Amino acid sequence: MSTTKVTDAVRDTTAVDASKLTGSIANARIPEAAVTQHVTAFDPAQLEMNMAILAFKVASANQLAKFSMVDQVIDEYQDATGIDAGASTNELAGGATTSKYYEGGTSVTPTVSGNYDSSAVDGDYTYYKWTTVRSDGSYTTNTAQDYEYLVVGGGGAGGGAPGTYAGGGGGAGGYRAATGFAVAATTISGITVGAGGAGVGSASSTQNSGSASVFSTISAAGGGAGGAGNTSAGAAGGSGGGGPNTTGSIAAGAGNTPSTTPSQGNAGGVKDGGQSGGGGGAGGVGLNSTQTSTSYPATAGGGGPGLQNDITGTNLFYAGGGGGSYAVGGSGVGGRGASTTSVQATAGTANTGSGGGGTTEANYGNSGSGGSGVVIIRRLTTATASGGNLTLQSVATTAESAPTTADLVVLIEDNEGTATVNTDIKGYVSRDGSAFSTAVTFVDEGDWGTSKRILVARNIDISGIATGTAMKYKLTSHNQSAGSKETRIHATSLAWA
């Protein structure tokens, strides 16, 4: 065979059976078209969406806030870290733990009523105060809001002095205070202001503890009465009553009874060689008595300190313990113990839940009554309720270089009604932090839970908007109405290339 014939045969391989071909063929001898026509084109969009969903799940499980990946930013709305509050409008955060979200809110002025004794506006807040001892208090609101509350039980009375011994100071009522207490649009009945325990005669062994105060599910126990002479220990209560002056070993009352979390108060003080102990307070235990010599005078225990609270706009003390005989009460609100015929025991201050002072020996007058309790609640005067149209704009995340395309993945929830994609929920992208694209075209890619959908906009062309590396997204909701269409946004991913 001639060389020419061999060359022609090698050139004409179209009729050669593939099984006859062995070895390798140099890339340069294979036309590009002969290769690419048999290769399936790869679209990374589905992989990018799946990565975003996986990132959402990781962030949610660990309750992470906004965080960045390579050419991508994720926000699960665990807090407001990723949101530009100045550029957003009607953004109402909601949910808890791994199910937080943003939705549109509207400003409303709640209508409230009730048999509270007084109310007043303090800055952005309005507070309501029950001071009359009662168990039939009520409060009605037409708007669900979070409230701050202060609930203090009635203080215990100081102890009497049968057997010529001194009585212990009365314990303060239980002290309960917190913010973020959810109150629905409803009526709350049975609001109770606890009475302080009534003072007793100097020769009496009767012990009168305070009564509990109640608002909704919050209950503050009454303070324990002070110990009586040589007969009775201080009583347990929100704070315990002080122990008496006696030759025997009679203890002070325990605080925080019934037991709750957080603590309502502290134990009373005991006799330590001298006069009686002071009643416990919300801020600390009652003081023990002391004696510096084998003869009188001896120093009785002062009442345990109260706690300050500014729920009414003025920082006041509440729940101070009463002083044992010959001692003062806690924080200036607990009653003073008796010391001579001219200085008799005094009552705890009304509506602070403070303990009364203990009395001493026969004919030195009654022990001090406990101060009555109080219930105070406070709310924002103007509330934000769901059902408004939302603009939710992110803070900027810096890209390594100016991108030309973007992907936007959003997890939404149809809390009420069903949002029409690209009509009731829209998205926009910026690469310079201020100029945004026209509305992207979202595609509903399926569900991630009941009434929850995955919206995806792929390969968004952003080459025509102002260039830069400050990547932002903006989401808007439309046609929202409380009870009929409420669209929640649970998470957003913005990626770029």
Where residue 84 falls among pLDDT bands split at 50, 70, 90? Answer: very high
Q: Are residues 490 and 448 part of one domain? A: yes
Cα–Cα distance measured from residue 323 to residue 278, given in angstroms and rounded to the nearest whole number: 5
Q: Are residues 358 and 280 part of one domain? A: yes
Q: Are residues 191 and 58 part of one domain? A: no
Residue 22 has pLDDT above 90, yes or no: no
Containing structural domain, residue 190: 110-381
Q: Are residues 304 and 174 part of one domain? A: yes
Query: How many domains does the chain divide into?
Result: 2
Give the domain-ending residue among 323, 346, 381: 381
DSSP state of 40: P
Which residues does residue 426 pair with via DSSP β-bridges, in sequence order?
A: 476
Q: Are residues 177 and 282 part of one domain? A: yes
- pLDDT value of residue 297: 54
Closest CA to 326 of 315, 316, 338, 318: 338
Q: Are residues 292 and 196 part of one domain? A: yes
Give the domain-ending residue among 354, 381, 408: 381
pLDDT digit string (tens) for 305-325?
A: 999 999 999 999 999 999 998
- pLDDT value of residue 62: 46
Question: If DSSP codes are grouped into helix, strand and coil, which group holds residue 78?
Answer: coil
Q: Are residues 256 and 199 part of one domain? A: yes
Q: Are residues 146 and 102 part of one domain? A: no
Closest CA to 326 of 346, 350, 301, 361: 301
Q: Are residues 465 and 358 part of one domain? A: no
Residue 43 has pLDDT above 60, yes or no: no
Q: Are residues 489 and 369 part of one domain? A: no
Which residues does residue 177 pair with via DSSP β-bridges, in sequence order?
A: 150
Full-model pTM: 0.72
Range from 9-13, 16-20, 41-45 carrying the lowest mean pLDDT: 9-13
Cα–Cα distance measured from residue 406 to residue 18, given in angstroms and rounded to the nearest whole number: 44
Is residue 11 assigned to a domain? no
**What average pLDDT does the segment 190-214 reach?**
97
Where residue 361 falls among pLDDT bands split at 50, 70, 90? Answer: confident
Is residue 128 assigned to a domain? yes
